[in-house]
Structure 1
C-alpha cells in the first residue's frame, strides 16, 4: 500500500488548479525557471502565470500577476485593488508561502502597468 505524503497532496492540488486555470481561463502556470522577471518602478516579481486566451487578436501571451504581486509593483499595501482593469480579473486559488492555499485575483501586466502610471501622476 502506497503512503500519501503532504507533499503529494499539495502537488496534486497544484496540478488540479493548473488544469482548471487552463480549461476555464486559458491561463498557464509557469513552472521552474520558465518565467520572466517582471520589473515596474523600483520593484520586480517573478512571472508565475501567463494568459493564453484569445481576446480577439490571437493568444494573449501576457504575464498575469496575483493581487499581492500587483501591489508590490504598484507600491501599494496588499489590501489595494485595481479599480477597473481593462482585461478584467481572473479569480484563482494559489499557494501562498505563509498562508497556504488562498483565493486571489490575477491581473494582466498591462492593467498593473496602467495602475502604476496613474499612481505616478
Structure 2
C-alpha cells in the first residue's frame, strides 16, 4: 500500500489551523495577498499580511501587523537584529510559514505603529 501526500493540501490545512488559533488566542487574522495594504516607511515598502483585531483598551485595533523579517527590512536592519526594542503594543508570537526556509517556524508579529515609532527614533 502506497501512501501519498498532497503537499499543497497539507500546507493549506496547516495555514487554516494557524489562522484559527491566531484568531482564537490573540484576535489577529491573516490577510490574503490581494487584500493587504501596501505599508511604507521611508523608501521601503511591504505588503500587509496580518491585522490585529484585539482590543487594547481603546476599541478594536485594526492595525497591520508585521513579521520580524518585514520589520527588519523596513528598518534596514539585518534579519538577526531585534527590530523593535520597546514596543508599546503587545508583540504576538505565532507559527509562520517561511517560504525561504521551506517550513513553519515560530515568529513574532509587531504592530505597524511600533515599527513607525522605531523608524522615527532612528531618524533623530
**Fold conserved (TM > 0.5)?**
yes
Match of 1:42 in 2: 43
- Counterparts of residues 1-121 of structure 1 (less than 5 Å): 4-81=5-82, 82-99=84-101, 100-121=103-124
- TM-score of the aligned structures, taking structure 2 as reference length: 0.92
Q: Tell me, yes or no, if the aligned pair for 2:97 and 2:105 is still in contact at 8 Å.
A: yes
Point out 4+ residue stretches in structure 1 off by more than 2 angstroms.
Answer: none
Q: Could you tell me which runs of 5 or more consecutive residues in structure 1 were left unpaired when the two chains were aligned.
A: none
Q: Contact 2:33 / 2:49 at 8 angstroms: preserved in 1?
A: no
Relative to structure 2, which stretch is displaced further, 89-98 or 17-26? 89-98
How many Å separate the matches in 2 of 1:6 and 1:40?
Answer: 36
Number of equivalenced pairs: 120
Structure 2 regions of 5+ residues with no counterpart? none
